[in-house]
Structure 1
Amino acid sequence: MARNLARHNQSHESPGHHQWSPKSVSDAVTSQHHRRFLTRAWALARPYWQSEEKWSARGLLALIVALALGSVYLNVLINSWYSTFYNTLQSRDVSNFWHLIGQFSFYAGLYIASAVAQYYLTSLLQIRWRRWLTHAYFDRWLQGKAYYHLEQGEQRTDNPDQRISEDIDRFTDASLNLSIGLLSSVVTLISFITILWSISGALNLTLAEYDIHIPGYMVWAAILYAGIGSWLTHRVGRRLIRLNFNQQRVEADMRFDMARLRENSESIALYGGEESEKQHLRGRFTHIWANFRRIMTTQKRLIGFTSTYNQLAVIFPLVVAAPRYFSGAISLGTLMQISNAFGQVQSSLSWFVDNYARLASWRSVVDRLTAFNQRMDELLPVANAQGHHLIEEERDSIQLANVRLRLPDGQPLITIDELELDQQHSVLIQAPSGSGKSVLIRALAGIWPWWQGTMHRPKDMLFLPQTPYLPIATLREALLYPYHRDDEFAKRLDEARLHEVLTLCRLEKFDQQLDENRHWSRVMSPGEQQRLAMARALLHRPRWLVLDEATSALDLVTERHLYATLTRELPHTTLISVAHRDSLSDWHQQRLSFIHVKGEHRYQQIEMSPIEVE
């Protein structure tokens, strides 16, 4: 499903050889800009309509379109009813009056049923489209560690969680409703422009010595009125596109910072950093305030203009058609039919005016999702571009050749010309902070793209970071992570083994809480979280276990107990530990350290003798 998400390829126009006026250049740029926007919007929408759900989606869309067309047809019938009804009022025909009231009630009932059904089916299609697109973005965001790489380097993507949770919702909702609304407006325009042309008659004017005959003059009046209104609306409200884009970004920034405050509440409380956090959050809200004030100013002008435009549209057709009515050329019923038909034509032509704010919001969402797609696309070729090869295979050693590790800005970190770690020897990696120890582990795990060379590594490896990840779930699921309780791995484990590993890792107090759903990273201390990670290792029983400062929050006695437990319970597992403590030397046969040579670090391997575990 993820691969169906189309990539947007920028198109480049070939320069022509004509001499263009400034006006024509501006029009051409604007037209090209709109075409590119529609191309981007279609690139986001197309995958769903060509997916495995395409036939059910197209069927629902066909029903929605049919209901929309049915509503237009009912409006045509009601327009004809206007003429008969007002002529009946003019002639004071009581019997026909009640008949027409019943006829209108029937039309109104059908219209209401159609509107309800159209809303329900549109909402159903929208949530199904959103579900498919959300799952597709989940796949892309989590594929190839994209969620991790998006947070690295200088070009970080702001708030990808908002792009997926909110922007997709806005995109599917606006795309459907704007498209159906535009279709209804086009069909309404075609239907009523014919009616208005036939009933409005011709306008005869004499200017100077010329007699001017304008057939269907009310149609031309509606087109002129809507055209001027649309142009002025765009002039007044065009800033909303950029302002809405910025508003979504600054709102998400503040939500992110508030979430970080909650996640780090203990550290902030210990530092007494409330005043600093308050000032920082107020600064975030200042950006929201300033941008929203600009939106308010633009919206005020836009609403003022569109309200004036819509109110004038009520009396404009009556004023234009009044001379023919007072001259006796048309009846009251025809006048009201003209007014209603003019309103339908003008409303259809004014679709752009009525939906300008929503179009601006939709465009900002399309721009945000397109930028998100492009950023994820840029991550795909990064491995090949960096010139490195990480090969996972069934083997009993780790081999590195011509490896050059560096920071995202290109600064060199570690150079390893040749290194082999075999399964018979556990390794302790020690070096000063900032020398690149953790970067080496990340490259070995396949999540650090900024390196060159070749690494051969076994498939069966488990990595334990300094800060374990504990999902908000049951303790059972936290122990099994990254497996789920319904996976085959989880089904093979018996209940007794779960209790056993908790005891081995000195987590007995949580023994009766396996099925409690809690935020465990807040419940457990840092040391307890690291012990839980060790319990995971005992459950998973990997052939290679990599511990990156995985016992930094533990006291020496507990650390010694856990390493003794690992060595005893996992006799066929090779340990690779990154640590600063010399106490871990007892549990490894080799030490790997780094020496600083000419701006980078090179490794140095030292043999050691392990302690015997009783």
Structure 2
Amino acid sequence: MKKAAGQFWALCRPFWGQRSSVQAWLIMLVMLALGGSVIWLNVLFVQWTKSFYDALTALDGGKIYALVKEYALYILIYVFAIVYEVWFRKLLIIRWRGALTAELVDSWLAKRAFYRMSLSGRVDNPDQRIAQDIEIFVTKTIGLTVDLLLNPIQLFTFVFILWQLSGVQQITLFGNEWTIHGYLVWVVLVYTLAGTLVTHLLGKKMHGLTVSKERLEGNFRASLLRKHDNAEQIAQYGGEQQEKSHLARHFQAVTGNWRSLMNAERNMNLFIVGYTRVSQIVPVFAALPLLLNKTVTFGGLMQIRSAFNQVHIVLSWFIRVYPALIELSASMQRLSQFRAEILQHQSQQEQADAGKRLQIGSLSFRTPQGQPLLHNVAFHCEPGSWSKLTGESGLGKSTLLRTLNGLWPYYDGQWQLQEGRSLLLPQQSYLGHGTLAEILCYPQPVLAASDALREALDKVGLGAWRDRLDEQLNWDRIFSGGERQRLAFARALLARPETLWLDEATSSLDHAAARALLALVRRELPGTTVVAVTHQQELDDLFPQHYDLGRFRPA
């Protein structure tokens, strides 16, 4: 319980514990005021019930019509209060959801934690946790909190009314006569507590099933997205049957969990539905002795029934919201795990020193599973030099570039980067969404000078797109592998980094095109230090320095 409370407060504090949250607290107070007005109206409805049914019993037409007018006024106020309470609730939900989403997205993307988390694989479906679990957590928390704050007011109000209506009841039990004050209050209390206990015993299994449901649904949705993102490759391989089998396995897991959850809900609902239905008649039977003794009128019986139901509604809160509590608990657990994982991977970020040249000494790194890749790597690159890293496939050349760029966390040792900005061009560059101008300048904002963008496109052989900078298309489907690599070099020309890392950056281009792009870089960025990984041996003469990483293979 202490751990859950700590997790809950950790998720709430950034929004509710700041000075800037004054507006949120004011909205909450407005919601509570509107909720309080609903409670006051329910008190009036209880009083109105007695008057109306007594007038109905007496066939007093004049009083009945007057009470109908009074009821219409109550309903008008009631509708206003309910509608605006819901409106302010939704306003508060979207504000808190926006703040919590921004916080987690910022943390997830900060210090490249998102990349390291993808390597570890300990957290599934971050998209679902951000998009869906936050919405569930915020919505359920606000709704349940408002209920918790208003329920005591409603409880004490209607317990007081029901206590007065109950009077004093004399019962004989085991030969002894007992005097019970407010006996209807004790009836509703015992009935509700028994229902709450049974509900918890029947429903506690649902928590684990709900957590699994979120994970399995997220896995199925992620698998569908991967099929969409890689549609062309799947079609080229003719892998439709294999993909159908993968999706069928994911959905089979969803179905199995669904059936287990469905059976657990059935067992709980068998009790809850019957319990709820019986609760409608319990107050009538409980108050029947008062009616038979002519202690209360028929209108009084209906008043007791209304007050009893109001107390029962409050005391049955746990039963009514049990599924919501399970959803809240599951979402809180997933968000807390996500947040803890982010903080752990952010702590792995170490800022390398920067100096006049790139200097690597005794750097070792390994796979996420702990298998050594390269051991005691050591070399240096002078400013403006061009160096090629050689070695067989799978040796760890690309991993070395990731390590030097602060991406790979599984290493030991130190290195010094060259001062200034660096840029890594991978084998398949990320394009993203947006206009051509936006993806061309990525990850920086769009340059105001469109002429510079057009010139960069011309230089890398994409001049056909020079007048389409404002178009927004599905670029992953538009550009071929070679065109994506040309666009990456255009990004380098615009960014003008001091260090340029090339990781198979020309592998989709023919010999002539690759040489032309590298010559373009040498001409346009003469002071840039270039470190390349490439298996295109015909480009070897462009790199005066060659470093064979095979000699750093672990013994």
Shorter-chain TM-score: what band?
Answer: over 0.9
Deviation at 1:156, TM superposition (A): 2.6
Question: 2:406 is matched with which residue?
Answer: 446
Letter in 2 for 1:526: G
Alignment of 1:275-290 (within 5 A): 275-290=241-256
What is the CA-CA distance between 1:88 and the residue it aligns to? 1.5
Report how far residue 551 of structure 1 moved: 0.5
Q: Structure 1 residues 156 and 584, CA, compared in 2 at 3 Å: closer, same or farther?
A: farther
What is the aligned partner in structure 2 of residue 112 from structure 1?
A: 79
Cα distance in structure 2, aligned partners of 1:55 and 1:84: 44
Q: CA deviation at 1:412?
A: 1.9
Matches within 5 A, 1:568-579: 568-579=523-534
2:59 aligned to 67, 92, 98, which one?
Answer: 92
Which of 220, 229, 233 in structure 2 is aligned with 1:267? 233
Look up the equivalent residue of 1:351 and give its one-letter code.
Answer: W
Q: CA RMSD in A?
A: 1.5
CA separation of 1:292 and 1:250: change in aligned 2, threshold 3 A:
same
Are positions 1:399 and 2:351 aligned together?
no
Aligned equivalents of 1:39 and 1:349: distance in 2?
27
Q: Deviations over 1:329-382 (max 9, x none)?
A: 111121111110000001100001111111111111111111111211221333
Alignment of 1:537 with 2:489, yes or no, is no
Instruction: Name which of 503, 508, 511 aligns with 1:548.
Output: 503
Q: Residue 596 of structure 1: CA displacement?
A: 4.4
2:466 to 503, 511, 517: 511
Structure 1 position 208, deviation (Å): 2.9
SS in 2 for 1:151: helix
- Say if 1:265 and 1:422 are closer, same or farther in 2 by CA, change over 3 A: same
Match of 1:459 in 2: 420
SS of 2:549's equivalent? Answer: strand
2:190 match: 224
Q: What is the alpha-carbon distance in structure 1 between the residues aligned to residue 406 and residue 13 of structure 2?
A: 32
1:173 aligns with 2:139: yes
Cα distance, 1:599 vs structure 2: 2.8
Contact in 2 for aligned 1:83/1:337 (Cα 8 Å):
yes
| AA partner of residue 514 (structure 1) | L
Corresponding residue SS for 1:482: coil
Partner of 2:24: 57
Q: Which residue of 2 is the match for residue 202 of structure 1?
A: 168
**Could you say which residue in structure 1 is the equivalent of 2:433?**
472
Q: Call closer, same or farther: CA 1:598–1:511 in 2, change over 3 Å.
A: closer
Candidates 450, 454, 459, aligned match of 1:499: 454
- Matches of 2:323 and 2:396, distance apart in 1: 51
Partner of residue 20, structure 1: none
Partner of 1:136: 103
One-letter identity of the residue aligned with 1:445: N
Query: 1:294 matched to which residue of 2?
Result: 260
CA deviations on 1:65-105 (whole Å, 9 max, x unpaired) are 11111111111111111111112122222211111111111
The code of the aligned residue for 1:49 comes to: W
Aligned to 1:45: 12
Task: Find the partner of 1:126 among 93, 99, 113.
Answer: 93
Counterpart Cα distance in 2 of 1:162 and 1:391: 33
Q: Residue 235 of structure 1: CA displacement?
A: 1.3
- 1:89 and 1:104 map into 2 onto residues whose CA distance is 15
CA distance in 2 between partners of 1:321 and 1:437 (Å): 83
More moved, 418-427 vs 287-296: 418-427
Q: Which runs of 4+ in 1 moved over 4 A?
A: none
CA contact (8 A) 1:392 1:459 kept: no
State the secondary structure of the residue aligned to 1:131: helix
Give the 3 Å change call, closer, same or farther, for CA 40–224 of structure 1 in structure 2. Answer: same
Q: Does the 8 Å CA contact 2:387/2:543 hold for their aligned counterparts?
A: yes
User: Contact 2:461 / 2:486 at 8 angstroms: preserved in 1?
Assistant: yes
Amino acid at match of 2:72: S
1:400–1:416 CA contact under 8 A, matched in 2 = no
CA distance in 1, matches of 2:127, 2:329: 19
- Counterpart of 1:521, as a letter, is D
Q: Which runs of 5+ in 2 are unaligned?
A: none
Please list the CA deviations of residues 84-135 of structure 1 after superposition, one character each: whole Å capped at 9, or x if unmatched. 1112122222211111111111111111000011000000000000000100
What residue identity is the alignment partner of 1:89?
L
Equivalent pair of 1:390/1:444 in contact (CA under 8 Å) = no
Q: Deviations over 1:240-263 (max 9, x none)?
A: 211111111111101111111111
Shift of 1:267: 1.4
State the match for 1:184 in structure 2.
150
Residues 365 and 375 in structure 2, CA contact (< 8 A), matched pair in contact too: yes
Which residue pairs with 1:595 in the alignment?
Answer: 550
User: Contact conserved, 1:199 with 1:338, CA < 8 A, in 2?
Assistant: yes
Q: Is the 8 A contact 2:376 2:552 kept in 1?
A: no
One-letter code aligned to 1:449: P
1:598, CA displacement in angstroms? 6.8
- Match in the other structure for 1:16: none
Query: Which whole-Å CA distance do the structure 2 matches of 1:515 and 1:373 have between them?
Result: 37
1:235 aligned residue: 201
One-letter identity of the residue aligned with 2:117: L
Superposed, 1:296-311 pairs within 5 Å as 296-311=262-277
Distance across 1 between alignment mates of 2:321 and 2:279: 16
CA distance in 2, matches of 1:130, 1:501: 41
Q: Answer yes or no: is 1:346 the counterpart of 2:312.
A: yes
For residues 304-319 of structure 1, what are the structure 2 equivalents within 5 Å? 304-319=270-285
CA contact (8 A) 2:377 2:549 kept: no
User: Which of residues 293, 308, 327 is equivalent to 1:361?
Assistant: 327
User: Which structure has more RCO (C-alpha within 8 Å, separation ≥ 6)?
Assistant: 2
What is the DSSP-based 3-state SS (H/G/I as helix, E as strand, rest coil) of the residue aligned with 1:373? Answer: helix
Superposition deviation, residue 597 in structure 1: 6.1
Measured in 2, the distance between the counterparts of 1:352 and 1:93 equals 42
Where does residue 294 of structure 2 map in the other structure? 328
Q: CA deviation at 1:284?
A: 0.4
Amino acid at match of 2:393: S
Instruction: Report what 2:375 is aligned to.
Output: 415
SS of equivalent residue, structure 2 residue 506: coil
CA contact (8 A) 1:390 1:454 kept: no
Deviation at 1:575, TM superposition (A): 1.3
Ranges in structure 1 where 5+ consecutive residues have no aligned partner: 1-32, 384-388, 601-614
SS class of match (2:280): helix
Deviations 1:263-298 (A, max 9, x none): 111211121111110001001000111111111112
